[in-house]
Amino acid sequence: MKIVMIHGQNHKGSTYTIGRMIANKINCEENVVEFFLPRDLNHFCVGCYACIGDVTKCPFYEEKNKIMTEVESADILIFTTPTYCLRASAPMKSFIDLTFNYWMSHRPRKCMFSKKAIVISTAAGSGAKKAVKDIADALFYWGIPCIMSYGISIQAMNWNGVNDKKKKKIEKDATKIANKVLKKKLVKVGFKTKAIFMLMRMMQKANFGSGDADRAYWEKNGWLDKERPWG
């Protein structure tokens, strides 16, 4: 079982610690691949739309593709981000922007419809659940059917400052999340995901998509006919 972790920060703080805690409870460390933002992708989407015609034309394709190749081959994805001003970190938001052509409205990858994802955020005060939602929403539009979220106020500026009672709760919660992931052997695509996919299919069939390249991608996968990326 392969886990890919994408961290919305370079430092190994509280959110990172909880992410690694869950990953280690799910799998051995040797099967975990990690990326740190902005260290591994220090760019913002420039809105050039080059990827709409050809994904390799993105000016940051090489760095982005290195991450996404690992993402596509993973069984489980873990995203961690600190809460900054009630939202996900800027590097994480930038990463999401750079992967918009993976959304169901463009060129969703079939592999995404069988993955599990965990999104984690911590805050000294409030906002962690909002930060988690930013990422979970994006992963839903990637087509990922099983997304677990964990946002918590640690009431401290770093992991060393978290009190023992809170750490025990986090440890217990991490065990529950890991067990839930391990018990869920088969991932089923839910009604909402199917509904959005079918809406995007209708748009592609009616040529209301983003261009010929997107439509050709859907045709190649047989999704404009009877094929589906799940099942």
pLDDT tens by residue, 115-165 = 999 999 999 999 999 999 999 999 999 999 999 999 999 999 999 999 999
Mean pLDDT of 165-184: 96
pLDDT, tens digit (0-9, with 9 covering 90-100), for 92-103:
999 999 999 999
* pLDDT-derived band at 231, boundaries 50, 70, 90: confident
CA atoms within 13 A on the CB side of 230: 20
Mean pLDDT of 76-81: 98
Is pLDDT at 40 greater than 80 in this prediction?
A: yes
Average pLDDT of every residue of the chain: 95
Distance CA 45, CA 100 (A): 10
Is pLDDT at 33 greater than 80 in this prediction?
A: yes
- For tokens 């209708």, the residue is 202
pLDDT at 28: 63
Is pLDDT at 29 greater than 70 in this prediction?
A: no
For 76, the token pair is: 């489980």
Lowest-confidence range among 27-36, 59-68, 222-231?
27-36
* pLDDT-derived band at 1, boundaries 50, 70, 90: confident
Contact predicate 23/5, CB 8 Å: yes
Residue 127 to residues 124, 195, 219, 231, Cα–Cα distance (Å)? 9, 30, 41, 36
Q: What is the pTM of this model?
A: 0.95
pLDDT at 32: 94
Is pLDDT at 31 greater than 90 in this prediction?
A: no
- Which alpha helices (DSSP H) does 27-142 contain, by range? 50-53, 61-73, 90-98, 128-142
Q: Is the peptide bond before 38 cis (omega within 30 degrees of 0)?
A: yes
Instruction: Give the distance from CA 94 to its chain's centroid.
Output: 13
Is pLDDT at 111 greater than 80 in this prediction?
A: yes
Distance CA 203, CA 53 (A): 18
Domain 3-187 has CATH 3.40.50.10380: no
